[in-house]
Amino acid sequence: MIMRPGQQLLLPANPVFIWGSLLAALLMNILMNMGLWGRSAWVPDLLAVALVFWSVHQPLRIGVGVAFAFGLLMDVQQGALLGQHALAYTVLGYASVFMHRRLLWFDVPTQAIQVLPLFAAAHLLELLVRLVAGAGFPGWTYFLSPVIEGALWPVASVLLLAPQRRAPDPDDNRPL
């Protein structure tokens, strides 16, 4: 892949770290649903952020199937309509794999702006499934969640790419 000028060369991603970060995001979602905020409509979906991140950066390892499996786990954990999160995460996974080459050409703040519609579409899809199933409208604060997820994209980029960063100044022991 041709790199932008000034872009840092990254080490290969460790599969254990990828899966560990996805499981940590799942556990954070579970804790946020049980914790202080309960099931507030505005609470961001950290698992969706991690799935989109790894689908963009490692599309051969994390894709639609993994997103579907984690969606089913979220459905079971929240007691939601079975397939509600699975459908939203699958659409997120497909869209992020579809746009991963184009997205990686941009800097991180521009990436955050471009993944914001993905998060909004996933939340809208979840909302439509809930409404068709007969649930009530959760309120307008529901649409604050994709904005928070988009704002978390730079934080996720820094945290999840940290183990892959090479030393910025090469020497005899680190020629790249």
Please report whether residue 155 resides in a domain.
Answer: yes
Q: Is residue 61 part of a domain?
A: yes
Strands (E), 11-151: none
Report yes or no on 8 lying in a domain: no
Please answer whether residues 165 and 13 qualify as being in contact, where contact means their C-beta atoms are separated by less than 8 angstroms: no
Q: What is the pLDDT of residue 4?
A: 62
Containing domain of residue 46, as a range?
15-160
**Please, are residues 88 and 126 in contact by the beta-carbon 8 Å criterion?**
yes
CA nearest neighbour of 11 among 160, 158, 157, 163: 163
Give the other-Cβ count within 10 Å of 154's Cβ: 14
Task: Give the C-alpha separation, 96 to 173, whole Å.
Answer: 36
The tens-digit pLDDT sequence of the chain (176 residues) is 555 666 666 777 888 999 999 999 999 998 888 876 667 778 899 999 999 999 999 999 898 999 999 999 999 988 878 888 999 999 999 999 999 888 988 999 999 999 999 999 999 999 999 899 888 888 888 899 999 999 999 999 999 988 777 665 666 666 55
**Residue count of the chain:** 176
CB atoms under 10 Å from CB of 71, counted, come to 28
Domain assignment present for residue 50? The answer is yes
Tell me whether residue 169 is in a domain: no
pLDDT at 172: 66
Alpha-carbon gap, residue 45 to 49, rounded angstroms: 7
| pLDDT value for 8 | 67
Q: What is the pLDDT of residue 136?
A: 84
Q: How many domains does the structure of the chain reveal?
A: 1
Whether residue 172 is contained in a domain is answered as no
**CA dist 65 to 36, 90, 130, 148, Å?**
32, 7, 22, 25
Do 117 and 143 touch, CB atoms closer than 8 A? Answer: no
Torsion of CA 27, 129, 81, 88, to 10 degrees: -30
pLDDT, residue 161, reads 87
User: pTM of this prediction?
Assistant: 0.86
pLDDT of residue 2: 58
In a domain, 10, yes or no: no
